[in-house]
Amino acid sequence: MFNFMKKKSNTASETPQQRAERDSAVDKVLLGYEVGTLSIATMVTGLERDGDQLTLDLRLPQGSNPETIQQELGQLLHPHGIKTIHMNVRLPAPEKGAGSTLPKPMPETTNAMEAQPKSSSSADNHSNGNNAEPPITKAAPTQASLAAHPRIRHIIVVASGKGGVGKSTTTVNIALALQKLGNRVGVLDADIYGPSMPTMLGVDNVKPELENEQFVPVNAHGMAMLSIGSLLDGDNTPVAWRGPKATGALMQLYNQTNWPQLDYLVIDMPPGTGDIQLTLAQRIPVTGAVIVTTPQHVALLDAQKGIEMFNKTNIPVLGVVENMALHTCSNCNHTEAIFGTGGGERIAEQYHVPLLGQLPLASGIRAQVDKGEPSVLADDEFATYYLDIAKNIETNIDKFAKPVDDKRIF
């Protein structure tokens, strides 16, 4: 399996097996190192290795000493080839003092150290703060602070509050519909634990190539596509990773891919509002989000949570797609609203966003993606639904576009 701990400057003599062994040794050190009575692995929110340097994003408990932790980890990891440790530390807010009615905001500190072993006296001096540089305070990144990708005009995320609402099927058909309208489109499968884009696009047996340490996206019917599923050994290979590993995989798929010039990069998100959604909100410049739901009351409750999350992270919601709105019996042509009616309209009205479209509950839509030829590609009777949604997206998206930084170099 491909290792997603990011590596840039490994020595040419190091074999893939040696790299895997070194990464495994680093993981074991982190799993075995404890802060108080808890493994530090439970406090890691981000992890990245660049050759002999390791960067850790940590959320430490009250009373922790980041300098001591950094020093001790440096000594433990040095035998495994890690010579420099960078730590982005987030500490709990101190208790309210006299005259204060609100807790102070949690500070974020950034520090780096050489991971060379030192004498105990040097370690003691460091832990006591002697000769230690003061931490650098740094606010968490926001969408407004993220520069647009130099080769991607719009990044659209397709999300849902819960699974089983047809989000991935909607994603792949919207992407193909945007392409059919004359746009250059790419697809990034961010559903790390349940990737389905390779199967739905009929390219599940195609592996991406590597050029200059960057992925070359798979050509899927003229679209540039990349998914963790394209890197796994087989369809039944599970991705049993903790949050930091999964979010690291997402960022590697985005940053270490040689995306061509695109009008749209459509990202298929995992369901819910977890680590991957928050990482994306802080590190990927998103133009807007499309929320997929069914008319069912429970699905609408979860869709509301998804909209609220995007609102709090300053990502515009482009609109709502109501999937499985109506079912027409293939024998008697009787139409029935199996999951209820009006749900998409109500949530769109509540949050003052457009209802981009309503899709039927039809076995034909499912059958087409199962064989790798989605409805838009097959140009079947359901293709017009997705084309109308794509047209509605294009109508208002330019007002949400982020300014492109042409000087940015990848």
Q: Locate the domains of the chain by residue range.
A: 16-140, 144-400
Per-residue confidence (pLDDT) for residue 236, from 0 to 100: 61
Tokens of 182: 């004359």
Other C-beta atoms lying within 10 Å of the C-beta of residue 51: 16
pLDDT for residue 32 is more than 70: yes
Per-residue confidence (pLDDT) for residue 177, from 0 to 100: 97
Percent of the chain with pLDDT over 70: 77
pLDDT in tens, 97-137: 443 333 334 344 444 444 544 444 434 444 444 444 444 44
**386 compared with 305, residue with greater pLDDT:** 386
Please compute the mean of the pLDDT values over residues 15-30 and round it to a whole number.
77
Confidence grade of residue 404 (pLDDT, cut at 50, 70, 90): low
Instruction: Give the number of C-alpha atoms closer than 13 A to the C-alpha of residue 183, restricted to the C-beta side.
Output: 24
pLDDT for residue 179 is more than 80: yes
Please compute the mean of the pLDDT values over residues 78-93 and round it to a whole number.
79
- 152, 258 in Cβ contact below 8 A? no
Kind and range of the H or E run holding 327: strand 327-328
Stretch among 115-124, 248-257, 294-303 having the lowest mean pLDDT: 115-124
pLDDT for residue 313 is more than 50: yes
- Report the mean per-residue pLDDT for the chain: 79
pLDDT in tens, 139-163: 567 788 888 899 999 999 999 877 7
Question: Distance between terminal CA atoms of the chain?
Answer: 26
Other C-beta atoms lying within 10 Å of the C-beta of residue 142: 11
Per-residue confidence (pLDDT) for residue 270, from 0 to 100: 87
Q: Quick one: which of 369, 351, 367, 361 has its CA closest to 385?
A: 361
Per-residue confidence (pLDDT) for residue 383, from 0 to 100: 95
Per-residue confidence (pLDDT) for residue 77, from 0 to 100: 87
- 356, 320 in Cβ contact below 8 A? yes
pLDDT for residue 90 is more than 70: yes
pLDDT in tens, 320-349: 999 888 777 777 766 676 666 777 888 888
280 contact partners, CB below 8 Å, separation of at least 6: 157, 190, 250, 267, 269, 286
Helical ranges in 214-318 per DSSP H: 243-255, 275-283, 297-312
pLDDT for residue 224 is more than 70: yes
Position 31, amino acid = L
The domain made up of 144-400 is a member of CATH 3.40.50.300: yes
Residue 45 DSSP SS3: strand
pLDDT in tens, 38-50: 778 778 877 888 7
212 contact partners, CB below 8 Å, separation of at least 6: 258
Kind and range of the H or E run holding 86: strand 84-90
Please compute the mean of the pLDDT values over residues 349-372 and round it to a whole number.
90
Please compute the mean of the pLDDT values over residues 225-241 and round it to a whole number.
75
**14 compared with 366, residue with greater pLDDT:** 366
pLDDT for residue 54 is more than 90: no
Instruction: Give the number of C-alpha atoms closer than 13 A to the C-alpha of residue 395, restricted to the C-beta side.
Output: 12
Other C-beta atoms lying within 10 Å of the C-beta of residue 260: 12
Per-residue confidence (pLDDT) for residue 334, from 0 to 100: 66
**337 compared with 95, residue with greater pLDDT:** 337
Helices (H) and strands (E) in the chain, counts: 12, 19
Confidence grade of residue 66 (pLDDT, cut at 50, 70, 90): confident
Task: Give the pairing of strands 152-159 and 288-293.
Answer: parallel
Per-residue confidence (pLDDT) for residue 254, from 0 to 100: 92
Per-residue confidence (pLDDT) for residue 41, from 0 to 100: 77
What are the distances in angstroms from CA 19 to CA 43, 51, 99, 282, 382?
24, 10, 54, 29, 48
Tokens of 338: 């199996």
What region, left, alpha or beta, does residue 232 occupy, with left being phi > 0 and alpha being psi -120 to 50 degrees? Answer: beta
What's the 3-state SS for 210-227? EECCEEECEEECCEEEEE
Tokens of 145: 């602070």
pLDDT for residue 183 is more than 90: yes
Looking at beta carbons, which pairs linking 391-396 to residues 24 or more positions away fall under 8 Å? 391/181, 392/319, 392/354, 392/356, 392/357, 393/156, 393/174, 393/178, 393/290, 393/318, 393/319, 393/356, 394/178, 394/181, 396/318, 396/354
- 227, 203 in Cβ contact below 8 A? no
Rg from Cα positions in the chain: 24
Statement: the pTM of the whole predicted model exceeds 0.85: no
Name 355's bridge partners.
Answer: 320
pLDDT for residue 356 is more than 90: yes
